[in-house]
Chain A
């Protein structure tokens, strides 16, 4: 059974900091790993998808890396802004049901 863990559970930082959010998974036989953002009471917005053959993906201030062999992914957020405040979720997809982590709740204060 796949287990996905996200560390830290919560993070509060001042605006402008560079951040690293961590996601680890127990079964490395994945098709892909996807990072999402969830605002309170809302749906999930896709941020980045990394296929199993890829090492990283970038979109604007976001960069996600994947190390399948160690079962880890990191989401790097550069120059954080108050609008980045949300919960960040990672989800892995493989030869088993899609599995989400509990998320990292991020607050960026001005």
Chain B
């Protein structure tokens, strides 16, 4: 069964460093998402991406964040200058489209980002 994959599973970085989190969505899906979950808190939407551009973004997704689909398979989240409060689990998800609406979201296993 196709699945969303994410690398790395755990990333440790120092404050102020740039990190890139990678995701490979399910191959026939067209809508991609990044979410984060701070330990013990709820899952929070960061950004969605459709047709090679950002579709929606939350207040969390500020200028320190960017997303890219550099080729036909990868979808990346870059954090330019990490802060301690960026420590969280980051999830990628993808959906296919049904008409004009996205359908069921499939999540990857997550990348645990630890900023020291």
Contact = CB atoms under 8 A, between A and B. Distances in A.
A43 B91 contact: yes
A interface majority secondary structure: strand
Contact of A43 (B45, B58, B104, B110): B110
Contacts of A88: none
A72 interface: no
Interface in A90-109: 91, 93, 96-103
Given A31-B101, A98-B33, A46 B43 contact: no
B30 to A, nearest CB: 15
A46 B104 contact: yes
A34 B26 CA distance: 18
A77 B73 CA distance: 37
DSSP majority for the B interface? strand
Contacts of A43: 91, 107-110
Contacts of B42: 89, 100-103
Interface residues of A, number: 22
A42 B44 contact: no
A44 interface: yes
A21 interface: no
Contacts of B18: none
Contacts of B103: 32, 49, 51
Given A32-B104, A89-B42, A97-B45, 8 more contacts: A43-B107, A43-B109, A44-B91, A45-B107, A46-B105, A98-B48, A100-B42, A102-B41
